[in-house]
Each structure stands twice: as C-alpha cells, then as structure tokens.
Structure 1
Amino acid sequence: MLYTVIDIETTGNGYKGSKITEISIFVFDGKTVVDEFTSLVNPEQNIPPFITNLTGITNAMVRNAPKFYEIAKKVQEITKDTIFVAHNVNFDYNIIHEEFKNLGFDFKRKKLCTVRLSRKIIPGLNSYSLGNICTVEKIPINGRHRAKGDAEATTELFRRLIERDNNFTINSFLNPKSRQATLPPLLDKKVVDNLPETFGVYYFKNLAKEVIYVGKANNIKQRVISHFYDKKKKEQTMCLETADISYTKTGSELLALLHESAEIKHLYPKFNRAQRRAGEAVGLFSYEDQKGIIHLAHNRLKLIPNPLIKFYSVSEARNYIEALCKEFELCPKYCHLQTNVSSCFHYQLKECKGICCDKESVKDYNIRVYKAIKSIGIGAENLIIKETGRTENEVGFALILDGIYQGFGYIDVHQSKELDNPEDYQFFVEPKKDNRDIQRIIAAYLKTKSNL
C-alpha cells in the first residue's frame, strides 16, 4: 500500500478563493519515502502580506514558478492509486480538489488525517497541531509553514503512527462506512454516531465549549453529517473549529424552528448570521385618511403604539410592503413607497391603474387593504398549535395569546385533552420572546397548514 503525504501553502482566501503557492508530496510505503515532488506554484493572484509573514513565500518567489495547470499532470500521476495523507486532510484535499475542478478534472483519492489518527493513537495531548505534536514527539521540522518541511515532518509522524497502531485504527479509518476522513479533525466519531435521527436543534461547539453554530433538523444526525460534505468556505471553517456537538430533541419541525431561532438570539453563535440581529427597530401600521382611504406605512417602533408587524430595518419593511403591494395590487402611493407624486408608479411595480387614478372606489380598494392586513403575521387571536411530542406520551405545542407568541412546551397527552382554552396552556409553556423571525416562522406554518 502506498501513501502520498502532502502539504500545501496557499494564498489564504478560503476554500473557494484560496490558490496554492507551494506543494510538497512524499510517496511513502509505510516505512520509507520512495518518491518526492516539491514545487512553488504561481497562484495567479496576489499573496497577502500576512501569508508572506507566515510562510516566507513572496510574490517575487512565485512570479516565474509554474502555474497549477502546468504541474497538475505530475500531481495526478504521483498520487494515483495512493492514499492521500495530510495533517488536517480536508483542508489540503479540498484545495487541491478545487484546483483540479477548475481544470475540468475530478480529483478523487482515499484520505487519512494525521490529526484524527493522532487523537486516537496518541491520546491526551493538549493540542494536535503539527507543531505541538512534533515538539512532543521530538520530530524536527526543517522549515515550518513551508510545504516540504511540514510534509516531511508529517511523513515521520505518520510512520510513528503506523508503528503504534496496535488496534488497526488506520484500517478502520479507511473503511468506506467509517466517515472518519470526512469528520472534522477535532471531533470524536462517537459524538456523531450517538446523534439521534429525529427532529431537534443541534449545537456545534469549539474546544473551549463555546457554541459556534446552532441549527435545526428533521433528522439531526443526517443534517449534521451534511455539514461535513459542504464545500462552502463558511461550512469548512466552522467544521475545522468543531470539537463537540450536542442536541435537543423537539418532536416536530415547527418547535425545532422556534427553538433554533430563540437559541441563536440568546447565544449569538459566530457562524449564525441570518437570525443574529438585535431587536426590531421599525414597525408597519395602518391609518385612514380624510378621504377614507386606508394607508399602510412604516416608522420607528417607538412612534407606533400597536404595530401590525415589526422589522429589523427600513429596507426590510419596504421590501415587505412591496410584496404586499404586488400580492394584493395595492397602490404604492398609499403604502408610502413613494411620496410627492401625482401619478402612482414604483420602479419595481407595474403602473397603478387603481384608486389614485380614480379608476376604482375607496370601498373596493380598502377591501384589498383589509385582506393584506389580515395576511400579516399571525393575527390577533388566541391560538394553541399542537405538534408531535418528543415521546408517544406527550404533546408539543406553541402558544399565541392576543397575537403574541408566548413560547412552546410539552404536556402529557391525556392532560392536553382536559384543556379547552389556549390560556390554559400558559402554565405549561417555556416562556420565549416574540419577534419578527418568530412571527415569520409561525405565519409560514399556518399558511402551509391552511393550504393543505
């Protein structure tokens, strides 16, 4: 069995934008190095100063070096029928895979990660960085953060791992069903194996036990594993930091969505962006003018006593109102999407042929406005949304009182049959804050149910 122990240096712009500046490949038979290839690579883009400070590789050094397509055939041939080995293998493998993909070639090799192998075969180290392991093992690195120096040190580390592998760990990692090569280097496979295949919320944590990402899933294990195969820069960076994963079962997709949203706003994880926003600042309201025409408008929340719905920004509010205009054929002028105009026209909407052009009555126009208002949010009623519980003996539920989300909870199946009114459920609810994202989730859920 032949291995190719590989290390690359890059421009450091993430998986999609990062280009190779140096590559070193050691062909290893498990005992000795039988071939080697090392080369600087012209990345065809500027090398950032901080990368130069780290690696010592300058723009001048790679200016006359071969471009990747000029060495691609050599890389393909020397790695053919070998197992791709690297320290944190997914980084090197994915960068090289992307370079070949740009050339129209599908580069595929079996993989082994010396970080993951070291965690199994040399347990108990404070850090599994190449520098720390080599210090502990007294392996010299002749040129740290240069491809040849790191690849040579990784080869020696791999040789020692093979010698100490009394439990056939390497063979188990090469088993196609093990997923070891695709797992984040800091994450124990047992953590993934123990994940449930049910509705819930999962938490990615770093070595400091800080939550760095919160997600919801209909199948927790399946969704978590999908992150490891994602080639997006954010996903890859997040997985590299992931050292542990915990979860909370919810019993249903709706409760998973509600719990996920609340946890993101509570924990503010670094890799969650969509729902990390602070409190809403803008509200939508309606009023009737002297002609009896119902207007829709937005303003700062503190100036609106009872907003129809809340938003995080003016642009979000305008986009929402524009959508209402399109759906219910409302007048942009009376929705305050434009001001100080005689005719009604909006750059994203068709020319108005309705009330502002005296082509319909106030009554007919207001009917559409009332329909639009009714479609907003989740209404002003008391509502209990019953969902599947986490076990057969319980019911999950979300509680809305006077149009305001109160939270969610779980109750015994038999006990739920004795409760007649939504108000009765407030004694079993886990209180949560209402906000624009929660209203959106519930409104979408109710709309889907009504269309079934």
Structure 2
Amino acid sequence: MHQQLFAIIDVETTGGGIAGNRITEICIALMRGNKVVDKYSTLINPEREIPQYITALTGIDNRMVENAPRFFEVAGKIDEFTRNAIFVAHNVSFDYNVIRGEFKKIGQGYTRKKLCTVRLSRKLIPGLLSYSLGRLCDTINIPHVDRHRAEGDVDATAILFQRLLSLDESFETFNSFLNPRSKQATLPPHLPSEQLEDLPEEAGIYLFKNQKHKVIYAGKAKNIKKRVLSHFYDKKTKEYHLGQETHFIDYEITGNELLALLVESEHIRKYYPKYNRAQKRPVNAYQIISYANQRGVIQLALAKTKVLHDSVGTFYNKTEAIEKLEEICETFKLCPRFCSLQSNVEQCSHYRIKNCEGICDGSESVEVYNQKVNNAIAFLKENKPNFAIQGKGRKSDEIGFALVIEGQYKGFGFFDRSEAISTVEDYEPFIKLQTASYHTHAIIRGFLKKNGERNVVRFESTLKESSDLPYQETDLLGPLLGGNW
C-alpha cells in the first residue's frame, strides 16, 4: 500500500443529473503512498451553457471556458494520468460517474478501482455531525481554500486522505473498501453502513428518508436487505440521486409479500414520497348511486369521482360498472332509462335489455317499481364479499392476514397460531385499520387471480354490518360481487 498510486480527483460540472452533466473543470492530484507526486488541472469547455446558479456556486462562467479544451481533447491525458491509480474522491460516485459519462460520449470506456473519502471518514472518524468536505475540513482543521473549485477541493481532499491513511496503518479498512466483493464505494455517502448491515433479509417494506427524516421513497421486497442494496448498485440517474439524498432507512417486516404490497401502498398514499412515481396519482372511481326524481321514482346512475361518498357500489373500471348496472337492470326488471343506460328518451328502447315493466310510460306504479329498485340495492349490498387472506407472519408462530369486509379492504394484522380464529369478529382485536384505495383493490384482486382460493377464509356474516370497525373516510374498495374478486 505504501507504493500504491492514488488519483485524488474533483470535477466541477454544469449540473443536470449524471446523464446531462458536463465537466467544466477537473483537477487530479497523484499521490504515491501518502505523498503528492504530481498534479493536473484544467478548465474544460462543456459544449453547453453553464446555468447561472452553477456560476454563482463555482465562479466558473461561460466566458472562462470559451477557449478551454473540450473533453475529447484532454481525455487521453486524464486516462494516462490516472492509469494504475485508485480513483479517490469525496463522494466518489459523483465524480467517477460523471467522468465515465464523458468517456462514454466519445466512445471510450473508463474503469478504475474507487475509494470514497466520505465513507472512509464515517468509518475512521465516526460521530461527526456532517461529512461534507467543507464541514469536515473545518472540524478537523484542514485548510480549504477556493471551495467549489476543482483544485481547491482536491488539495483539501488530499490532506484529508493523508489523515485517513494515518488512521488506518494496517490498511484493514482501506482493503475492505477495495475488496472486489465489497460494494462500499457504491453505497450512499450519507448512510452509515451499520444501517445497511442491520437490515433484515425478510419480506416487508422499507422507507428511504432524507436528512430531515422525511420519507422520499417507499418500497416493498421479499428480501428487504437485498432489495435496498440493489438501489445503490443501479447506475440510473434516478437511483443515484435517491442514494445521494438518503440519510436514514426504516423498515417494517410483514412476513409475506401481499402484506408488503398493501403496507407499501399505504405509505405511498400517506407520505407521497418524492421518488415514488407509481400509485401517487388519485384514480377516478365509478360509483353506482341512487336518488329519487321529481316523480318520486328511485333512479340509479353512474358517477365518476375522486372523493367518494356512500353508494350502492364502487368500481375502478367503467366497463365493469356499466356491466353491473346492466346486470341488475335485467335481473330485477328495471328500466334502462331510469338506470342511466339510456338518455334523452321518453320510453326505454335498450338494444339488449327488453324486460322493463312500464315505469317509463306510466303503466307501472312508482311504488311497485321502487320496491324492485330497493330489492336490487339490497342485493348489491348483501352480496359484497367478506374474507381474510392468511399468510406467513413476522415469525414462525404467527399468521399475517388482510381483511376484506363487504367488498372493502379494512386492514391487516397478525395473530399467534395458537389463537382460536373462526369468525370474522375474531380478527377485530388484531387488525390495523388502513385506507382502501384503487391500489389496494388492484393488489388484492391480483393476488386472488394469481393464487385462487388458497389461504382465503370466507365469511357469511359481517362485523355487525361492519359497525364494529370505525368508519373510514375514503370508503373506496369496489365490490367484485358474489365473491368474484
């Protein structure tokens, strides 16, 4: 290690994410052992405009780089200068990936072993409030002039690296970070490795949090530890930025994948995380509603809404909702006109439903017709399924479950295998109430489609017509009636 060559590197860029980042300045200090033996520094024409906020930060403007060499003109020098050296930087993933991106643009590869002085500092100088280069230098008395300029940052990083070398005389920490099997160099700079080491290898959900403990990403996994690490090995710009902002990771073991999906959906709905794209946008629901017209006839109609109220039935697919309207219209001999299946007609003339008994032309009494409508409404409400889906719990002697009452997802929970659970009421003490949504509906429906009735426990009775479970403000889950989930 005493004769090992290190390339201490810093780049200034135009900003815009890894994919769009162009280098405006680079500095490389070559260190053999713990002594700087050579240095290379140059401005670079990024071949694009430098944003004003970048100029304000670095002092580098468009005029300064106008006559500077373009990257392809210095690529050979950078490649040769760093050959046989270990690439060292403060937050190495950033500088390394930007440089690799520049080489890729000119059709060349660039591969070096890497060391991150942020992660090395966390390991060898633990307990500091901040590991940013400026704060770190202030804390341990390293001179740091020309901040946010490549040479100034390289000079400070070189001194920091010398300090770190002196704190690891046996090179045990350095070697562990350089081990080909080690992923240390690719891990987020602000995330203590202990948090990753403590992650369980079980099914559940995980939450990435920023410096202020705000949730910025929620995910689910069959193996939490494996899935979390996979984010940091991904080279996509989104995953890189997610890693840069992650300071803390929380998790919750669910025991099985179904509950992980449901809990993940709840966290996305609750926290609206910055890096979750799926499930964030509210989905329109289609409700079958009932109301009395001026004649006193009870009509059924389809309403599209995001804010749901009590209804005869709620669906997340318009075709499914229309089919259900047509089904009850035909089954209970209702009028297509008064079921909103036809409009702008005095008398119904539906192409398929022909068994209207005359409410539209006055040959059927309002009282008789309304009784049929009430029977149809009662049928819809009574035929909403009640069931629990059971699966593995968080430990071997535990069962996890998701509960659906009258077609609505109510929540999930866990109970000991020794518990006598035989009726729907028996689940009540163990349930953690959740908000039903289009996404929980889709998750449960997808599970049933894939797994069938396996592990499904169905019930005929409800919890005293669900009155034992507190009212949920967004009562969303649509009935796939007659158990047709």
* Paired positions, count: 406
Identify the residue that residue 306 of structure 1 maps to in structure 2: 312
d(CA) in 2 for partners of 1:169, 1:304: 62
Structure 1 position 71 matched with structure 2 position 77: no
Q: Is contact 1:83–1:112 with CA below 8 Å preserved after alignment? A: yes
Match of 2:447 among 429, 445, 448: 445
Q: Is contact 1:265–1:277 with CA below 8 Å preserved after alignment? A: no
The Cα offsets for residues 187-210 of structure 1, whole Å up to 9 and x where unpaired, read as: 222221221111011122334433
Q: Give the TM-score normalised by structure 2.
A: 0.74
The Cα offsets for residues 309-354 of structure 1, whole Å up to 9 and x where unpaired, read as: 25xxxxxxxxx547999xxxxxxxx9xxxx999xxxxxxxxxxxxx
Identify the residue that residue 92 of structure 2 maps to in structure 1: 89
Identify the residue that residue 27 of structure 2 maps to in structure 1: 24
Q: Is contact 1:285–1:298 with CA below 8 Å preserved after alignment? A: no
What is the letter of the counterpart of residue 163 of structure 2? R
SS at match of 1:272: coil
Identify the residue that residue 242 of structure 2 maps to in structure 1: 238
SS at match of 1:132: helix
Change (3 A) 1:147 1:175: same
d(CA) in 1 for partners of 2:343, 2:72: 60
Match of 1:35 among 38, 41, 50: 38
Identify the residue that residue 268 of structure 2 maps to in structure 1: 264
Deviation at 1:35, TM superposition (A): 2.3
Q: Is contact 1:15–1:231 with CA below 8 Å preserved after alignment? A: no
Map 1:84-123; keep pairs closer than 5 Å: 84-123=87-126
5+ residue gaps, structure 1, are 288-293, 311-319, 326-333, 342-354, 364-378
Deviation at 1:49, TM superposition (A): 0.6
What is the letter of the counterpart of residue 213 of structure 2? K
d(CA) in 1 for partners of 2:306, 2:259: 30
d(CA) in 1 for partners of 2:158, 2:343: 73
Map 1:136-151; keep pairs closer than 5 Å: 136-151=139-154
Identify the residue that residue 54 of structure 2 maps to in structure 1: 51
Deviation at 1:125, TM superposition (A): 2.1
Deviation at 1:227, TM superposition (A): 0.8
Identify the residue that residue 421 of structure 2 maps to in structure 1: 419
d(CA) in 1 for partners of 2:120, 2:161: 9
Deviates more, 1:393-402 or 1:21-30: 21-30
Change (3 A) 1:305 1:13: same
d(CA) in 1 for partners of 2:141, 2:440: 55
Identify the residue that residue 185 of structure 1 maps to in structure 2: 189
Identify the residue that residue 220 of structure 2 maps to in structure 1: 216
d(CA) in 2 for partners of 1:307, 1:414: 37
Match of 1:431 among 427, 430, 433: 433
Deviation at 1:437, TM superposition (A): 1.5
Change (3 A) 1:123 1:304: closer
What is the letter of the counterpart of residue 436 of structure 2? D
Q: Which has the higher helix share?
A: 1
Deviation at 1:440, TM superposition (A): 1.5
Structure 1 position 403 matched with structure 2 position 420: no
Structure 1 position 124 matched with structure 2 position 139: no
Q: Is contact 1:283–1:301 with CA below 8 Å preserved after alignment? A: no
Structure 1 position 6 matched with structure 2 position 9: yes
Q: RMSD across aligned C-alpha pairs, in angstroms?
A: 3.7
d(CA) in 2 for partners of 1:19, 1:396: 51
Deviation at 1:138, TM superposition (A): 2.8
The Cα offsets for residues 89-133 of structure 1, whole Å up to 9 and x where unpaired, read as: 111111112222223333221110111111222223221111112
d(CA) in 1 for partners of 2:307, 2:189: 47
Deviation at 1:212, TM superposition (A): 2.8
d(CA) in 1 for partners of 2:173, 2:390: 48
Q: Is contact 2:287–2:311 with CA below 8 Å preserved after alignment? A: no
SS at match of 2:452: helix
Q: Is contact 1:285–1:304 with CA below 8 Å preserved after alignment? A: no
Change (3 A) 1:59 1:411: same
Identify the residue that residue 369 of structure 1 maps to in structure 2: none
SS at match of 1:98: helix
SS at match of 2:418: helix
Identify the residue that residue 317 of structure 1 maps to in structure 2: none
Deviation at 1:177, TM superposition (A): 2.5
Map 1:152-231; keep pairs closer than 5 Å: 152-166=155-169, 168-231=172-235
5+ residue gaps, structure 2, are 291-299, 323-336, 355-382, 455-485
The Cα offsets for residues 149-178 of structure 1, whole Å up to 9 and x where unpaired, read as: 111211121112112224532122112233
d(CA) in 2 for partners of 1:239, 1:322: 42
What is the letter of the counterpart of residue 435 of structure 1? S
What is the letter of the counterpart of residue 97 of structure 2? N
Deviation at 1:303, TM superposition (A): 7.4
Deviation at 1:58, TM superposition (A): 0.7
Q: Is contact 2:232–2:243 with CA below 8 Å preserved after alignment? A: yes
Identify the residue that residue 314 of structure 1 maps to in structure 2: none
What is the letter of the counterpart of residue 193 of structure 1? E
Q: Give the TM-score normalised by structure 1.
A: 0.80
SS at match of 1:434: coil
Deviation at 1:451, TM superposition (A): 10
